């Protein structure tokens, strides 16, 4: 075989690999977009029902010791954003957010006091994650004026959200759950082909505090 024919053979093999890759990307993108349509429809329907039901919220605490009052979930909203990928418009992400409010009455004030760096770092992380309105005050020794602790004064009002992000190249759907079971983030990834009503039903059960198999 001449050198030119060798180059032709190599180029042909490379073109075949590129075409196979492009076909796989197109197929995975189609699967991811179909999954996103399923998720968007389901979350829109779910938000409407939960806005009527106002289901109980998770048990919340900032320091692991001081419980918040019984909470409820309200004001669900769904938002979908699009982007361009390989000259086609696809889903960037789908988000559903809601308020976490006391079951009885308006939000009330509370406070926690922590005196070790790991503790106040944990409290501050939870305050930020929950978008909790608060004020941090220093607690100092009455005579030496040395810093003894931080006191966090807050309102018992928070937010939760679910963000669904497709990976079009891999045909995967990622779920980021914030403050669904407490002040924490949970990440779940599923194949796009798995995203059916039964899987999303498990997500809905998790959201309203019922036994589920989503996470």
pLDDT in tens, the chain (215 residues): 788 788 787 877 777 777 777 878 899 999 999 999 999 999 999 999 999 999 999 999 999 999 999 999 999 999 999 999 989 999 999 999 999 999 999 999 999 999 988 999 999 999 999 999 999 999 988 888 888 999 999 999 999 999 999 999 999 999 999 999 999 999 999 999 999 999 999 999 999 999 999 98
Residues 6+ apart with CB under 8 A from 68: 59, 60, 61, 102, 110, 156
Strand partners, 155: 109
What backbone torsions phi and psi does residue 196 show, to the nearest 5 degrees? Answer: -125, 175
Residue 184's domain comprises 18-61+72-110+127-133+157-207
Instruction: Kindly state whether residue 119 falls inside one of the protein's structural domains.
Output: no
* Structural domain count, the chain: 1
Which contiguous run of DSSP H or E holds residue 35? helix 3-53
Instruction: Kindly state whether residue 26 falls inside one of the protein's structural domains.
Output: yes
Instruction: Kindly state whether residue 141 falls inside one of the protein's structural domains.
Output: no
User: Three-state DSSP class for 121?
Assistant: helix
Instruction: Kindly state whether residue 2 falls inside one of the protein's structural domains.
Output: no
Instruction: Kindly state whether residue 13 falls inside one of the protein's structural domains.
Output: no
Instruction: Kindly state whether residue 150 falls inside one of the protein's structural domains.
Output: no
Instruction: Kindly state whether residue 4 falls inside one of the protein's structural domains.
Output: no
For residues 133 and 112, give the distance between their C-alpha atoms in angstroms, rounded to a whole number: 14
Instruction: Kindly state whether residue 185 falls inside one of the protein's structural domains.
Output: yes
**pTM for the full model?**
0.88
For residues 103 and 5, give the distance between their C-alpha atoms in angstroms, rounded to a whole number: 77
8-state DSSP, 116:
S
Sheet with strand 88-102: strands edge to edge: 71-85, 88-102, 158-167, 172-178, 185-191
């Amino acid at each position: 075989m001449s050198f030119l024919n060798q180059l032709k053979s190599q180029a042909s093999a490379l073109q075949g690999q590129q075409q196979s890759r492009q076909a796989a990307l197109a197929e995975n993108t189609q699967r991811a977009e179909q999954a996103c349509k399923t998720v968007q429809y389901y979350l829109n329907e779910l938000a409407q029902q939960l806005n009527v039901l106002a289901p109980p919220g998770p048990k919340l605490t900032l320091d692991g010791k001081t419980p918040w009052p019984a909470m409820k979930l309200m004001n669900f909203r769904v938002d979908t954003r699009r982007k361009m990928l390989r000259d086609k418009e696809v889903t960037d992400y789908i988000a559903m957010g809601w308020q976490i409010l006391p079951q009885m009455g308006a939000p009330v004030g509370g406070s926690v006091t922590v005196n070790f760096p790991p503790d106040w770092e944990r409290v501050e992380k939870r305050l930020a994650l929950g978008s909790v309105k608060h004020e941090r005050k220093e607690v100092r020794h009455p005579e030496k004026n040395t810093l003894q602790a931080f006191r966090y004064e807050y309102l018992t009002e928070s937010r939760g959200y679910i963000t669904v992000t497709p990976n079009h190249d891999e045909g995967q759907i990622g779920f980021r759950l914030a403050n669904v079971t407490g002040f924490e983030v949970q990440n779940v990834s599923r194949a796009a082909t798995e995203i059916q009503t039964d899987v999303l039903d498990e997500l809905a059960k998790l959201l309203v505090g019922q036994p589920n198999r989503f996470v």
